[in-house]
Amino acid sequence: MAWALQIWSPVFCRHFDRLPPGIQADITHKVDELGKRLNNWPHDRLQGRPEFKLRVGDYRVLYDFDLAAGKLYLLYVGNRREIYKRT
């Protein structure tokens, strides 16, 4: 698989835009790596939830994906202290 199409949710965009530029760059780099290796990435599903998490320092990206369609759905981004409190 080449690259997965990244689909950013409105919530993800809103929270991403509020992050410092350095954190945004780190997250963008890690998400790009995930998109390149979507089929063999060690996906870590959240316990009791349908989303997967991507660790980027103290921040987490919650995502889902459709391997057959080559799509990566970026659902939410936030600090690890806050992100798991969201329902």
Supply the range of the domain harboring residue 33: 5-83
Other residues' Cβ atoms within 10 Å of the Cβ of residue 1 = 11
Is the Cα dihedral 18, 72, 43, 27 positive or negative? negative
Q: Which residues of the chain have pLDDT under 70?
A: 1-2, 86-87
| pLDDT score at 2 | 65
* DSSP conformation class of 20: -
- For position 16, which CATH number holds? 3.30.2310.20
Rounded distance between C-alpha atoms, residue 48 and residue 4, angstroms: 26
Give the model's pLDDT for residue 3. Answer: 80
* Number of domains into which the chain is organized: 1
C-beta neighbour count of 16 within 10 angstroms: 21
Q: What predicted TM-score, i.e. pTM, was given to this entire model?
A: 0.91
* Contact assessment for residue 80 and residue 16, using Cβ atoms and an 8 Å cutoff: no
Q: Identity (one letter) of the amino acid at 8? A: W
In this prediction, residue 84 carries a pLDDT of 77
30, 61 Cβ separation under 8 angstroms: yes
- pLDDT score of 87: 43
